[in-house]
Structure 1
Amino acid sequence: MVDDARFEDGAEKPLRLKAQDSEDLVAISAVLQDAVLPVSEMQFQAGEQRFGLLANRFRWEDVDAAAASKRAVERVQAVVVFDSVLKVRSSGLDLKDKEQVISVLSMTFEAGEDGAGTVVLTLAGDGAIALDVECVEVTLADVTRPYIAPSGKVPSHPA
């Protein structure tokens, strides 16, 4: 029987990151790379101008420590909240298929006027989610203990 990983095993605390500009967004994009989630774990609250998702993110920050101690690589569930969202658009995915699993490759910001613009989540398989925002206001927070990545492998992207 395989036990779940514990925070103590990685000697890391849960991540809590906040982005308020495109440079900050690069850090959140890096830790969110290769996160997976079903479409059912995304929600847009138009009245509150908030888009959120619950993703199973790969713990990139722990890869070297895992390799050095010869333990399994890990994932952790993280909530990502985008505030000041005016509109949500998507392409390359079926939002009605709540069981469809998507994988986040990157997150970028396309600037508009006066701090507004579009946050684009690029997905594996040519999909994308575009969030028209008044400003960059994104928070990522780990909400579970790390667990052993089901694949047991570090994600890779063959050229």
Structure 2
Amino acid sequence: FPNGTLVIENVERMSDEATYTCVAKNSQGYTAKGTLEVQVMVPPVVQPFSFGDVAMNSGQVVTTPCSVIEGDHPLQLRWLFDGETIKPRSGATVFNIGERSAILSIASVSHNHAGNYTCVAENEAGTDSHTATLIINVPPRWILEPTDKAFAQGSDAKV
């Protein structure tokens, strides 16, 4: 631009990360220059994960990794359950393995664990996430347990 502004669109680390120098010269021949370093940060990319194609049975163990396959440090990883931070006493535990991976582990799944689990990765350049649904088979239970009824012979029975 005529005002000396440099615009680099769609920056890429390999081609655009460098030291840039701007030199200004006036009509009297005086020059001034300034130098700046351009660093390109890569946003995180979360590798997709799933809980498998079949529902888990109550009491089974669930272990699922979340891995960041691309992105610059520092990274922050966190797991969410139905959009909320996983609570400490929920029966679900998160094990951080280095800065690029975290394992979600549930020692004994129950109907309370059914829902959407999201792994979120963040750095200064951006955020990425992946969500998978955990389906749990649970034994049937009575909503309203039936009770025995006695009716007089010849009367109408309504249950």
Whether the TM-score (by the shorter chain) exceeds 0.5 is: no
TM-score (norm 1): 0.24
Pair member with larger Rg: 2
Q: Which has the higher contact order (CA 8 A, sep 6+)?
A: 1
Structure with more of its chain in helix, by fraction: 1
